[in-house]
Structure 1
Amino acid sequence: MSTGRLAGGGFQAGVRRSFAVGSEMAWSAWGEGMGLARWVGAYRQPLGEGEQASLPDGTRVTVVRRVPPRQLRLRLERDEWPKARTVQLRVLPSVHGVIVALHAEGLRDEAEREQFLAQWTHALEGWEAFSGREVTVSPAKSPKGSSVEDKDTPASEPPALEPGLARQVRSDQKKTGTAKKAVPAAKRASPLKKGAVTKRAPSQKKGPAKKKAPPRSRK
């Protein structure tokens, strides 16, 4: 049996690398938001299990399982593919930080497998968003399954994409018209010109008052 070939048919591919960061930081860089562009494709909206989205190239993405900050399993479908593919991200604890592991199943042939391996290896080895960040390593006491705690509070925004990848994402979004457009500011009321008098709605004219009937004289 060829390397990477599944017993039921199709091929699989897997790549993993270690990083000296905490699980929350790794998840924000790979498991949500624009971080997904590093290994799947760019889509902005947050998705829960069972929800779907479309990538700029037309690939339909369904969230099969989502357990932040540990696991994300997605099903990818396109009309021209004979069957769906499954890709998965796992963030695993390690002595020096975390292991980011990427895995794919349902690949058509060995050539496609090699393509995934090359793409993901390049993405993992090119990730330098947290290079040199100081972390606390405590192998003896692991909080919630992780051996690393971040000294700072997690960033409120996901890490920026690498320059080359960011340019590619912007290019894809422009082609499909999914680039984020600036929302025009609300128009402010123009100030009144000097000497201008504001017109009031014409008041309704009161009709003539009804005359009271004269009192009847008593006989």
Structure 2
Amino acid sequence: MENQVGKTKDVGFQFGIRKTFPVSSEKAWDFLFSNSGLNIWLGKLKNELEIKKEYETENGITGIVRVFKTNSHIRLNWKLAHWENVSTVQIRVIGNQTRATISIHQEKLLNDVQRTEVKAYWNEIIKKIGTELLR
């Protein structure tokens, strides 16, 4: 069996991206969970984002928030409208008063096609986050 990029033994395919920005970790976190930030990485919400509650965006992403630890990370189920499966996304902010790394990790992807799809999605999202965060 040949190794495939992003394939894990236990959770299907995965993708991760991280980028460091010249802002405090608190500023990065606050931005990600502001209306502007949420609209970028998740989409415009139809309801509030709450722990252990289902959410839905206007662009058809659905899921449940599993873990929310302020100024640290969020872990949520994440499903695109055209997918049959549910994946898991974790966004973490790591840093200090002068630098923040935003780390996005997605797992439980069905195959390399989904991995390629989310890779393009998150690469675009991290660029948009950078543009808006550094304004």
User: Under a length normalisation based on structure 2, what TM-score does the superposition of the two structures give?
Assistant: 0.81
* Count of residues in Structure 1 that have an aligned counterpart in Structure 2: 132
Distance 1:97 1:33 in 2: 22
Identity of aligned residues (%): 25
- Deviation >6 Å, runs of 4+: none
Distance 1:121 1:106 in 2: 18
Q: AA paired with 2:71?
A: P
Distance 1:59 1:123 in 2: 15
Distance 2:85 2:35 in 1: 26
Distance 1:18 1:29 in 2: 14
TM alignment of 1:48-127, pairs within 5 A:
48-77=50-79, 81-93=83-95, 96-126=98-128, 127=130
Q: AA paired with 2:93?
A: V
Give how far 1:3 is off: 1.3
Distance 1:39 1:32 in 2: 11
Give how far 1:78 is off: 6.2
Q: Which structure has the larger Rg?
A: 1
Distance 1:52 1:27 in 2: 21
Deviations 1:47-105 (A, max 9, x none): 33101121223332211000112101111246864431111110011584110001101
Q: AA paired with 1:131?
A: L
User: Under a length normalisation based on structure 1, what TM-score does the superposition of the two structures give?
Assistant: 0.53
- Conserved 8 A contact 1:53-1:62: yes
CA distance 1:61–1:33, shift in 2 (3 Å): farther
Alignment partner, residue 185 of structure 1: none
- Conserved 8 A contact 2:25-2:96: no
- Pairing partner for 2:49 from 47, 50, 61: 47
Which has the larger helix fraction? 2
- Conserved 8 A contact 2:66-2:76: yes
CA distance 1:80–1:17, shift in 2 (3 Å): closer
Alignment partner, residue 128 of structure 1: 131
Which has the larger strand fraction? 2
Higher mean C-alpha deviation, range 75-84 or range 88-97 = 75-84
CA distance 1:130–1:57, shift in 2 (3 Å): closer
Q: AA paired with 2:41?
A: W
Larger RCO of the pair (alpha carbons < 8 Å, separation 6+): 2
Deviations 1:12-38 (A, max 9, x none): 000000001112221122235341232
Distance 1:42 1:51 in 2: 16
